[in-house]
Amino acid sequence: MIELCYESINRSPFIEEQNADLPAQITGAAAAGFTCIGLDAPSLSQHCEQGGSLEELARTLDALGLRCFEIQPLVVGDDPRKNQEQAELIAGMVEILRPDWVQSGFTGAPDAESLAAFRQAGEIIGQAGAGLAVEYLPFLPLCSIETTRELLNRAEVEGAGIVVDTWHFFFGPDRWEDLEALPLNELAYVQFDDHPPLVGEDLMEETTQRRVLPGQGTFDLSRFCDVVLAKGYTSPVSVEILSESLRTLEPSEFARLVYDATRPFWPGD
């Protein structure tokens, strides 16, 4: 059975100024049927600033039968001090919440300095107990499966892998042959979503505000699933629906809609 992973980032202050309400999201995800959850660092920080604690969230996850699968995002930029501080902050979250992965990415073209920062982050996160999973975005220099494989080959960070998000796959330069050629041991995990036809040229706006539930957009998700499953993929699938309209729903209703739309695409009980 492929486990489905709920993502908190749609309600994150990372997307826009809003209250993430992680306890409500966690409760809603468990009730909907998710067994894994991906928590974003800005929402976790907000929760702590509002008087909550990571330890409390960890106890809630345990009580509801959820496990934290990943934390995001660790963004490698051009400020070495901020890169290190960010890695250390997220490592502290990893030590308490125990995810398998920390999702990372690059703001610009990977150069010697940013690769050094990525290696340092890999050491810090690895010591805390998680691996680095690199996500590419079609509107940045790191834009495809091919460029991300090249990056990981250059970086030589032990245990690092690639996140393949359906949005980035279908709207980027990737070909089916690239997905088919990606070795299973280089695929950290899949992020799953759908999208209607583009209405503008601002891809950041499109990807953070206009995603839709799986099966309601234009992506050939059935073929995507077939290719991934043919590799022998058995890891959780992270369902990342970033949507301005769906953001207005109660967390429990949102989680239920996301789970029910996604489950038919992946092997269940």
- Model confidence over 88-142: pLDDT tens digits? 999 999 999 999 999 999 999 999 999 999 999 999 999 999 999 999 999 999 9
- Record the pTM: 0.96
Distances (CA, A) of 78 to 41, 117, 147: 20, 9, 19
- Predicted confidence at residue 268, as pLDDT, reads 79
Q: CATH number of the domain at 70, please.
A: 3.20.20.150
Percent of the chain whose pLDDT exceeds 90: 97
Q: Give me the torsion for CA of 17, 20, 21, 26, rounded to 10°.
A: 170
Distances (CA, A) of 84 to 41, 97, 163: 15, 20, 22
Beta-carbon contacts of residue 24 (< 8 Å; ≥ 6 apart)? 250, 251, 252
- The pair phi, psi for residue 231, each rounded to 5°, is -75, -15
pLDDT in tens, 11-69: 999 999 999 999 999 999 999 999 999 999 999 999 999 999 999 999 999 999 999 99
Q: Which domain holds residue 166?
A: 4-265
| Contact (Cβ atoms closer than 8 angstroms) between residue 149 and residue 157 | no
Give the model's confidence band at 193: pLDDT under 50 very low, under 70 low, under 90 confident, else very high: very high
Q: Is 100 helix (H, G, I), strand (E, B) or coil?
A: coil
C-alpha span between 29 and 252 (Å, rounded)? 7
Token readout for 113 is 């300095």
Q: Is 232 helix (H, G, I), strand (E, B) or coil?
A: coil
The average pLDDT across 202-217 equals 96
- Predicted confidence at residue 78, as pLDDT, reads 87
- Predicted confidence at residue 269, as pLDDT, reads 67
pLDDT in tens, 136-158: 999 999 999 999 999 999 999 99
Amino acid identity for residue 166 in this structure: T
The domain tally of the chain equals 1
